[in-house]
Structure 1
């Protein structure tokens, strides 16, 4: 994946600008209040070169998703897309959905419509989880942005409302359908990014598929020394995550991602 080619009309986002301002002793909030990305830290935290590289990568990917989803909403739905805000933080920060840390992993908070991502996550993804490569990281960002897309479509709120009234097993089953749909929407994004920017290089899809396999519930439970328990799954198996990403990538259309209407996942 070419980072330069991945940039849409918006260019680099404000995440990297804020990091550089902070590193130079300035006030990043003066930059961030203009919109776009945000970064938060706890206490006296050093901003490293790796943090700056992560911020640059995230800002490029975020700009990419903004342009792609803007086009998809206009061309496939006849509506407008409201871009998500991404909070890139170091060590720990707070969100309306609870505390965020490296242990929580990336997540989307529908309360404030923001994606939260730890600066160290890409290192964890590559070195500890065995999912290296730019496009593996881009897939994870795109997956979280896809939850915002679900929110914009009205899907996330409806399903979460049902989950709150459901037992644990049913709630988990609905969560799996939410997550697999986000994987499928990530594939839709990838297909449209390839057509819009020509940014997909040889091996990129393989990197995304590998990342999807590494974060399947069955794989994670096995690596934790546990026997996979399907009733406890909240994201889907490795095979399901790969297959739904591939479904979205092949179709390039939102309507291919109806995991709630699918008889089998």
Structure 2
């Protein structure tokens, strides 16, 4: 595990953008997996601010980490719709260069399995960018998720439902109960490099748990320590003070 402590959220976002751009320079037709949520917004701004960004991404394909089950992209609470507004449109990435599970597919389990096969057939994901959930979840891989779990339909944990409900309160009070997510096994098996982004003082406690604990389904993020290459980027607000420095030195 490579640990990078950045002075600010902006610095974290800049470092994450460099990782993405390096992956694209290494493989112009790369699969890049990207998350949703607040943490990657700074990264998305960095990626789209250059007028040459669409050209840089011309051969690449984005893999969507997660989505709510049964939600169409045009609905206001669609994560894919959000990703399109925040990033994909700015990079001029159409649906032909977006890999995801269709959230309204009549057989969602079959659609999940098909996505895993396509990722494998295309040689895997060059870079997977992830955020650390408040209960240690990755995507919608909630506590208790097995390390070999495939892409699948999941019932969201109460903490995730509450967090999502708070976010969507001003958008009609949507309270999702089920989601679709790349599995931990899919992420670990098919990602050449994983970048975990952690930002904000509200993530300090779970980040310390992540650092201290051995890989365990109880905190799905710890399973990432089994990856072939894991880069953890945290800002100082999330990293805290003395304990993180001791961890860095080991």
TM range (shorter): under 0.3
Larger proportion of helix: 1
TM-score by length of 2: 0.26
* Superposition TM-score, scaled by structure 1 size: 0.25
Q: Which has the higher strand share?
A: 2
More RCO (CA 8 Å, sep 6+):
2
> Which protein has the larger Cα radius of gyration, Structure 1 or Structure 2?
1
